[in-house]
A and B are shown apart, each in its own frame.
Chain A
Amino acid sequence: MTEQPIHLRIRRQDRPDSAPYWQEFAIPGRSDHNIVSLLMALRENPVTVSGQRVDPVVWEHNCMEEVCGACALLINGVPRPSCSALVAELEQPIRLEPLPKFPVVRDLLVDRRRIDQGLKQVKAWIKIDGVWDTHEGAPRIGPSEWAANYLYSRCMSCGCCMAACPQFGTDSDFLGPAPLAQVRLMNAHPTGRYDKTERLHAIMADGGLSDCGNAQNCVRVCPKEIPLTTAIGELGRQTTVQLLKDIFGPR
């Protein structure tokens, strides 16, 4: 454990429409910090390296166990959750920027509502008759099928995959990898399968699957190691079959 001050360069922005600027900080502390705990230490005494007292840095955090997805940032140019980014493993000065591709609210806080909209667009849910007990469970799911599905159910909507995706952005209507992977998950469920056609049509429309440029960035940055490109590949086959059904299938 070193006792050297930790150097931070933080990209700040006061309002959604104001210009960004950089500030530098040197935070005394041991290197067993993660980025969230470092920002917490900073907000107790937000003074820049030049001795200027500034507003505490705004960012989002909640569970700090890499499961809620709130604290994702661009750290030294890489989108990742800041709770599991350990200072000791990062090159200094550590550069912190808001997750790109999403509108900045303030400082490191971004608005990721587009993920939620994407999930609505692809109908990422199982239609059930009501939240009461119907005295029936769901159909059986074998262990290997479960294991494949489980990977996708761990997506925490942190937005790292979208931030890394060259096709996703403010000027593009591409859904992005996270909502697409949920189509793969829902279509695999024995009841979710009933609405498979609807979901596939949603991703065959503009901004859907065909906008994926296969850059593979998403899968490289996913903190939960979700096989996003595998999902996209599987969906490619599903949409091809759907297209043929749409052309030749019964009316």
Chain B
Amino acid sequence: MSKPNVIVIGGGLGGLWATLRIAHAGFPVELFSLFEVKRSHSVCAQGGINAVLDSKGQHDSIRQHIIDTVKGGEYLANQPPVKAMCEDAPGLIRTFERMGVTFSRTSEGLLDQRLFGGVKNKRTCFAGASTGQQLLYGVDQQVRRLESEDKVVKHEWWEFLSLLLDADGVCRGIVAMDLKSLEVRAFAADAIVVASGGMGQLYAPKSTTSTNSTGAAASRCYRQGAWMANAEFFQFHPTAMMGHDKNRLMSEAARGEGGRIWVPKTPGDRRPPKTIPESERFYFLEEFFPAYGNTVARDEAARAIWTVTRQMGLGIGGDGGDRVYLDLTHLDAAFIGARLGAILEIYRKFAGVDPMTEPMEIFPAAHYGMGGLWVDFERSADGGIQPDSPRNHATNIPGLYACGECDYAYHGANRLGANSLLSASYSGRIAGESVVSYLKGLASDGASLAPEIPQAEVARQQAINADLMRADGADTPYLIQKELGALMTAKVGVVRSNPELESAVGELQVLRDRLRNARLGESSTWSNQSLAFARQLGDMIELAGVVARGALARDECRGAHYKPAFRIPIPEGKFAGDPEFETYRARWHANNAQWLKTTIAEHTEDGPRLSYQEVDLSVYPPTEPRDYR
């Protein structure tokens, strides 16, 4: 038998880390990516990557990092993987540093660290304002080196279409399409790693993610039997600048430095903002949250903006008036220029408007998926995960692994700031190690895939292409995606209600039917982007159904999933010991007993079948509600 080989799907931080770890163990890797891997969405993360180095005299501890992660995620993350990730973070940073990542430095030439949202200590390593880009380039360079040594083969501009499963349901390869020639071909492999990123495009254009973050690859695995977990948890960032193509983040720092959010008091007031007198402006965050004002927490700010625009009809801008002003014009120009230079530049560059003289127009944007493909772990004796266990990051399909934003581990109900780059890198490395163990455990006379299976699957995929090319309906896939994004934003967004979610589930079915009869508008057999996009869109609608159904079933407020009808508010001005607070605590515990569990979605022809799994709370049991007062 020849040496076992591995296919990695996706070339962001997760995929490249997995590739490196597997190739370094001596197994050949074929890496598939929709585009040159250097263009992956990982490059967009700016803020930084968390790791406790305790370099700032604050007695920071890994234990505290674990607690911040667990609490930030409203206890929904399995705790052994979180513990292992936080413990490994410093070692990961050291590895990145050895790769030549240009981390920002202290005057002593050591790694600098800064403060990030949700934590009290300086724990975030950063590389200027482009940390994701620098980390990705670090691993990209290492992969290129292995490629030059023939240990890795890259298939860029190839799209993963489906898994090849043998008669026992074991993953034995993939079918993929060359995005230039549209050739559909089967590739055999002994293990597959999916690292295909997030699914922010379900909310396009009101999403901060790259246009290729469709979630299609994960959805394709789901359709073939891989479980999705916690898909209903999707983090929204309150202040993103609007674009026709996407939303771009405006850092929380803009409010931290004195930026004020407002809308005109009169609905439909179309006067230029600077001409609207102070008395006719509604500074709603300052009125809703007198204690915090504009610096209220991310999720609260996003919901308040939602209330004002969607429910009170006070939003500004076209498209249903869903924006609000983020105003810096009252602040000292020199001060703002020095403190917020990078943000001002982005706004000027992409909106063509100077935020020092005109208020910015912002909107809460879909930002990061907490849920994704379900993955396993093996708990170790010390409460972390067992090193080199083939169960770590394994999906429920044997031989199929998942890592990065497309898996569901580490974040729980809500992601802690600067933990995304950490989890992508860490999970990639662990998935790689796990795959190596899996390959070593494979029987040496491992049965190969019966040739009919790939042949039939290639033919099936070619038939899908041919059908799409022939279809001549009323809508183009691009128009349908626009409607999908609008529907998800309106009804499966920041604030959710059961009637709206129910209607969303129905409307998704309509979109699916319309897509079946869509018209590509072209029949070229060379680089037909509409064809690839139409295929992805079908998978996106499927995934949107999982998000909506999961949200409909979950009757509570937890992290990124907010249903006001089931809210259990903390009694104002009451703290532990007060009878009112204790009543609240009892209700919180009762709610946990019912809802502190992982949503599992299994594909069926009639839509997702939902079930629930216990969460491993062995490291830091939930005795205290999350309370940031």
Beta-carbon contact of A143 and B349 below 8 Å: no
Known: A70-B35, A143-B106. A131 touches B248 (CB 8 A): no
Roughly how many angstroms separate A150 CA and B134 CA in the complex, as a whole number? 9
Roughly how many angstroms separate A130 CA and B43 CA in the complex, as a whole number? 23
Beta-carbon contact of A136 and B244 below 8 Å: no
Contact partners of B522 in chain A: CB under 8 A: 55-56
Contact partners of B100 in chain A: CB under 8 A: 125-126, 138, 185-186, 189, 191-192
Contact partners of B248 in chain A: CB under 8 A: 64-65
Known: A36-B245, A133-B91. A106 touches B526 (CB 8 A): yes
Within 8 Å of chain B (Cβ to Cβ): is A242? no
Instruction: Tell me the nearest residue of chain A to B209, going by C-beta.
Output: A63
Instruction: Tell me the nearest residue of chain A to B34, going by C-beta.
Output: A62
Within 8 Å of chain A (Cβ to Cβ): is B524? yes
Beta-carbon contact of B521 and A46 below 8 Å: yes
Q: Annotate A121-157 by CB proximity to B: 1 below 8 A, 0 otherwise.
A: 0011111101111111110111100100110011011
Roughly how many angstroms separate A3 CA and B128 CA in the complex, as a whole number? 39
Instruction: Tell me the nearest residue of chain A to B429, going by C-beta.
Output: A131
Beta-carbon contact of B92 and A156 below 8 Å: no
Instruction: Tell me the nearest residue of chain A to B525, going by C-beta.
Output: A15
Q: Annotate A141-185 by CB proximity to B: 1 below 8 A, 0 otherwise.
A: 111001001100110110000000000000000000000000001
Q: Annotate B118-155 by CB proximity to A: 1 below 8 A, 0 otherwise.
A: 00000000011010011001010110110110000000
Q: Within the complex, which residue of A55, A66, A137 is in contact with B521, where a contact is CB–CB below 8 Å?
A: A55
Within 8 Å of chain A (Cβ to Cβ): is B554? no
Q: Annotate B514-539 by CB proximity to A: 1 below 8 A, 0 otherwise.
A: 00000001101011011000000000
Tell me, rounded to whole Å, the shortest Cβ–Cβ distance linking B99 to chain A: 6
Roughly how many angstroms separate A154 CA and B24 CA in the complex, as a whole number? 27
Contact partners of B246 in chain A: CB under 8 A: 64
Within 8 Å of chain A (Cβ to Cβ): is B5? no
State the interface size on chain A (CB cutoff 8 A).
72
Known: A86-B350, A116-B144, A192-B100. A135 touches B133 (CB 8 A): no
Q: Annotate B345-364 by CB proximity to A: 1 below 8 A, 0 otherwise.
A: 01001111000000000000
Tell me, rounded to whole Å, the shortest Cβ–Cβ distance linking B101 to chain A: 8
Beta-carbon contact of B98 and A63 below 8 Å: no
Contact partners of A68 in chain B: CB under 8 A: 38-41, 43-44, 210
Within 8 Å of chain B (Cβ to Cβ): is A41? yes
Beta-carbon contact of A44 and B478 below 8 Å: yes
Q: Within the complex, which residue of B101, B148, B352 is in contact with A32, where a contact is CB–CB below 8 Å?
A: B352
Known: A64-B210, A126-B100, A137-B97. A153 touches B127 (CB 8 A): yes
Within 8 Å of chain B (Cβ to Cβ): is A238? no
Contact partners of A11 in chain B: CB under 8 A: none
Within 8 Å of chain A (Cβ to Cβ): is B21? yes
State the interface size on chain B (CB cutoff 8 A).
71
Tell me, rounded to whole Å, the shortest Cβ–Cβ distance linking B83 to chain A: 17
Contact partners of A186 in chain B: CB under 8 A: 100
Contact partners of A86 in chain B: CB under 8 A: 349-350, 352
Beta-carbon contact of B127 and A124 below 8 Å: no
Q: Within the complex, which residue of B108, B128, B141 is in contact with A140, where a contact is CB–CB below 8 Å?
A: B108
Beta-carbon contact of B350 and A105 below 8 Å: no
Within 8 Å of chain A (Cβ to Cβ): is B36? yes
Contact partners of A112 in chain B: CB under 8 A: 36
Tell me, rounded to whole Å, the shortest Cβ–Cβ distance linking B589 to chain A: 39
Beta-carbon contact of A116 and B476 below 8 Å: no
Beta-carbon contact of B529 and A58 below 8 Å: yes
Q: Which of A36-84 contact B (CB under 8 A)?
A: 36-37, 40-41, 43-46, 53, 55-56, 58, 60-70, 83-84
Beta-carbon contact of B245 and A34 below 8 Å: yes
Contact partners of A106 in chain B: CB under 8 A: 180, 524, 526-527
Within 8 Å of chain B (Cβ to Cβ): is A14? yes
Beta-carbon contact of A33 and B244 below 8 Å: yes
Q: Annotate B330-357 by CB proximity to A: 1 below 8 A, 0 otherwise.
A: 0000000000000000100111100000
Contact partners of B329 in chain A: CB under 8 A: none
Tell me, rounded to whole Å, the shortest Cβ–Cβ distance linking B138 to chain A: 8
Q: Within the complex, which residue of A43, A56, A89 is in contact with B352, where a contact is CB–CB below 8 Å?
A: A89
Beta-carbon contact of A63 and B352 below 8 Å: no
Q: Within the complex, which residue of A41, A55, A141 is in contact with B105, where a contact is CB–CB below 8 Å?
A: A141
Contact partners of A34 in chain B: CB under 8 A: 243-245, 350
Within 8 Å of chain B (Cβ to Cβ): is A119? yes
* Contacts between chains A and B (CB distance < 8 A), count: 197
Beta-carbon contact of A131 and B17 below 8 Å: yes
Roughly how many angstroms separate A61 CA and B244 CA in the complex, as a whole number? 14
Within 8 Å of chain B (Cβ to Cβ): is A88? yes
Roughly how many angstroms separate A63 CA and B249 CA in the complex, as a whole number? 12
Beta-carbon contact of B524 and A137 below 8 Å: no
Contact partners of B134 in chain A: CB under 8 A: 153
Roughly how many angstroms separate A169 CA and B120 CA in the complex, as a whole number? 53
Beta-carbon contact of B521 and A53 below 8 Å: yes
Roughly how many angstroms separate A45 CA and B479 CA in the complex, as a whole number? 9
Roughly how many angstroms separate A29 CA and B319 CA in the complex, as a whole number? 13
Roughly how many angstroms separate A66 CA and B342 CA in the complex, as a whole number? 13
Roughly how many angstroms separate A192 CA and B145 CA in the complex, as a whole number? 13
Roughly how many angstroms separate A234 CA and B493 CA in the complex, as a whole number? 52
Q: Within the complex, which residue of B94, B142, B147, B524 is in contact with A134, where a contact is CB–CB below 8 Å?
A: B94
Known: A64-B246, A142-B109, A146-B105. A156 touches B91 (CB 8 A): no
Beta-carbon contact of B144 and A66 below 8 Å: no
Roughly how many angstroms separate A124 CA and B138 CA in the complex, as a whole number? 10
Q: Within the complex, which residue of A63, A109, A135 is in contact with B39, where a contact is CB–CB below 8 Å?
A: A63
Within 8 Å of chain A (Cβ to Cβ): is B498? no
Within 8 Å of chain B (Cβ to Cβ): is A120? yes
Q: Within the complex, which residue of B21, B38, B98, B145 is in contact with A137, where a contact is CB–CB below 8 Å?
A: B98
Within 8 Å of chain A (Cβ to Cβ): is B592? no
Within 8 Å of chain A (Cβ to Cβ): is B107? yes
Known: A106-B526, A131-B20. A157 touches B38 (CB 8 A): yes
Contact partners of B530 in chain A: CB under 8 A: 43, 56
Beta-carbon contact of B17 and A41 below 8 Å: no
Beta-carbon contact of A62 and B147 below 8 Å: no
Known: A37-B245, A64-B245, A67-B130. A156 touches B478 (CB 8 A): no
Q: Within the complex, which residue of B38, B101, B350 is in contact with A69, where a contact is CB–CB below 8 Å?
A: B38
Within 8 Å of chain A (Cβ to Cβ): is B61? no
Q: Which of B215-256 contact A (CB under 8 A)?
A: 243-246, 248
**10 pairs from A and B in contact (CB 8 Å cutoff):** A32-B352, A40-B245, A46-B521, A56-B522, A68-B38, A68-B41, A116-B144, A128-B99, A128-B142, A137-B94
Please give the residue numbers on chain B whose beta carbons come within 8 Å of chain A beta carbons, in ascending order.
17, 20-21, 24, 35-36, 38-41, 43-44, 88, 91-95, 97-102, 104-111, 127-128, 130, 133-134, 137, 139, 141-142, 144-145, 147-148, 180, 210-212, 243-246, 248, 346, 349-352, 429, 476, 478-479, 482, 521-522, 524, 526-527, 529-530
- By Cβ-Cβ distance, the 5 closest A-B pairs, closest first, are A140-B109, A133-B91, A37-B244, A37-B245, A125-B141
**Given A45-B476, A69-B39, 17 additional A-B pairs, CB 8 A:** A14-B524, A14-B526, A40-B478, A56-B521, A56-B522, A61-B211, A63-B41, A67-B44, A67-B133, A68-B39, A68-B41, A106-B526, A125-B141, A131-B24, A138-B100, A143-B105, A153-B127
